[in-house]
Chains A and B, each alone.
Chain A
Amino acid sequence: MLLTKKNVLAVKRFMIFAVFLQAFLLMQSKDATANMGESMINPLLKVGLWSRAETVQNITDQNIFQYMNGAGEVYLGYRFDYLDVYKYKGAGLPEILVEIYWMKSSDDAFGLLSMDWGGEPVIFNESLDSQPSPAIAPASRALYGAGLLRIWSENVYVRILVEHETAESKKVVLSLGKAITRNRIVTPQPKLLNLLSSYVNPGWKLRSDRIAYFRSYLVLNTIYFLSFKNILKLNLSTEAVFAPYERTTDQKDNRRVQFLLIKYETAAQAQSALASFCRTYLEENNKKTVSGMMVDTPLFYQIEEGWVGFRLTGRYLSLVLNSQEKSEGLLILNQIQSNIPKMEIDDGN
């Protein structure tokens, strides 16, 4: 080609066009990649004798109550994003329901699984599914029982349900679970759990199968009813763990202490929550409580079910809800104190 002025201009224009085209294509591929994590869960169209329609039913916070009535409160009590619903059918076979709950974080998906640790642990990938030890809550990421498989996988909580369980349907349910979790990242349990101790000496052991991680007072009420109102000022920015401790020294001693640990966004929020709790739950002691309340000093009060105690450490509020002896409650309450400063440093506070 002759390097005329006209030709040079054309080449320049072509090169500018090529640069823009390349940039455009790069942006498109980034968009695809950004969505790829979500769209990569595409449950099998056909498995065994069952198959599903290609379309998915999408549920958001706007229509979750139409889909599941009051049960929606549980999911909204965690940071729910949306739900994908798939239904598998086969001639003469019971329907298999697959629900994939997309949550804002892995912690929220974990929380949903933690509401109930019952069932047979299922391991889909030996090397991937192991939990970095020591794990405070059970290490299971998938639990199966009576036709229901529940899975925590990154920021996704999955329910796969067949109401009329058979050997064949169980195989299919587990296959679906395995396929859904393939290639997903293994995330750790919420950091807040690291503040707990499996054993508090002398003589107390954590009931790890009853640990629950949550953000909502409605979820707390399904585990341990405190009040119909949100007296601890829980919300989607808070994190809480409910952890019962039991005696280890004597099998006949069935004493239990219910321990509740809450992390608020700020120390001021934690103080406000404690004031609310004292005003409503300890109202007869309220004047004494408010005036006596110092940061990081445990306080105990005797009520109908035993002793209630609390300790406020920065933005962490720890509560013992019913211990038979004040000293036992204090022992449980103090367990986390040395761990909080380290966790705050780790969090950059």
Chain B
Amino acid sequence: MGTEEKVITRRDFVRGAVYTTLGTSVIGVPWQDGLSKTNSSLVTIVRNQNAMNSSRYVDIKTVEMMLKQTLLQFTGQRSTKDAWRSLIKSNDIVGLVPTEHLNPTHDEVVEAVTKSLRSAGISKRQIKEVQGWSGDPKNCSALIALPALKAHQQTGIGTVLKNYIMFSGNPERYHKSGSSRLGEIWNLPSVKGKTKLVLVDALYPLCDKGPQPDPRYKWAYHGLIAGSDPVAVETVGVKIIMEKRKALRGEDWPLSPPPVCVEAADRIHGLGTSKMANIRIKKSGWTQDSLV
């Protein structure tokens, strides 16, 4: 009995005992207090109600403006060129990592980022899309994560931490109970330390039934969410989704299964903070139904 792997159940979540169990059984690493970062992490949310029209076609000019605002807000720089230069070196090979499939990142967001990088002096040759089975971050010195905001039926949330799942070479390992390990992918040698910006496409998020698209659960949030702390950005995304679900049902509607990957990425993999108290959210633009 003592050598059997402890099974995580709903009761562990209710008791707040999940991460002790995770650390010592599922992941095999003793949970250590203090791995969690205590400095606050900045997450920006820029929204513009003109980002999409009523038929949900994206206006690229508006997205470009939102991106510029995001960069300036996040970096504190005065121009996008300086903003990018504070994040990326002039000789970096930059890997863009959008969501390719099933509620994908809008092409306009990827296009806006590419155009913005080019305007900052990063050449076309230096910019690569590295998502999917053929993507390999090994040859990139900088990564920009560009996931689309969505819930996920197997992992609770399928946005930031799951964005790099294909880099593992074994995505199946990270579904079901393995989703608590998603953070370890970010510590792989080909990935570790390379992510300069996480920019979440929250123009038209999905709050249930992901990854399969279900328009009943999509809504026009018209937002871009950004930060350098992937866990903090994910936490804010989870909060937005949870608030939308509550608004839809008129009562609490928790993500099921619970997004165990988020706090695990904080307390076990040391990737960032999952505590809202340690996250500074800077919002700008359209304020209606901001949900945070």
Please report A residues at the B interface, Cβ cutoff 8 Å. Answer: 65, 68-71, 73-74, 116, 118-119, 145-148, 161, 163-166, 218, 221-229, 231, 254, 280-281, 303-305
Contact = CB atoms under 8 A, between A and B. Distances in A.
Contacts of A118: 216
B102 A71 contact: yes
B258 interface: yes
Contacts of B175: 70, 73
A229 B7 CA distance: 7
The CB with the most chain A CB atoms within 10 A, among B8, B175, B176, B218, is that of B176
Contacts of A231: 7, 9
A221 B153 CA distance: 8
A68 B212 contact: yes
B256 A304 contact: no
A225 B258 contact: yes
A227 B8 contact: yes
Contacts of B48: none
Given A71-B153, A146-B216, A229 B177 contact: yes
A147 B215 contact: yes
B216 A70 contact: no
Contacts of A229: 7-8, 177
Given A69-B101, A222-B153, A281 B215 contact: no
Interface in B38-76: 55-57
Contacts of A145: 215-216
A70 B154 contact: yes
Contacts of B14: 304-305
Nearest 8 A/B pairs, CB to CB: A228-B177, A146-B215, A227-B9, A71-B212, A145-B216, A304-B14, A70-B154, A280-B7
Nearest to B249: A118
Given A73-B154, A218-B176, A225-B257, A148 B10 contact: no
15 contacts: A69-B171, A70-B154, A70-B158, A71-B211, A74-B153, A147-B215, A164-B55, A164-B57, A221-B257, A227-B9, A228-B8, A228-B176, A229-B177, A305-B10, A305-B14
Given A226-B9, A228-B257, 16 more contacts: A70-B152, A70-B153, A70-B155, A73-B154, A148-B216, A163-B213, A164-B55, A221-B257, A224-B256, A225-B257, A227-B7, A228-B177, A229-B177, A303-B11, A304-B15, A305-B14
Contacts of A71: 102, 153, 210-212
Nearest to A165: B215
Contact of A281 (B11, B101, B214): B11
B209 interface: yes
Interface string B156-183: 0010000000000001100111000000
* Chain B binding surface, main DSSP class: loop
A223 B13 CA distance: 16
A322 to B, nearest CB: 9
Contacts of B176: 73, 218, 228
A224 to B, nearest CB: 7
Contact of B256 (A73, A223, A305): A223
B7 A228 contact: yes
A163 B57 CA distance: 11
A304 B213 contact: no
A222 B257 CA distance: 6
A146 B269 CA distance: 40
A223 B213 CA distance: 18
Given A281-B9, A303-B11, A304-B14, A69 B211 contact: yes
A71 B256 CA distance: 14
Contacts of A227: 7-10
A95 to B, nearest CB: 12
B199 to A, nearest CB: 21
Contacts of A226: 9-10
A147 B11 CA distance: 38
Interface in B183-231: 209-216, 218
Nearest to A308: B11
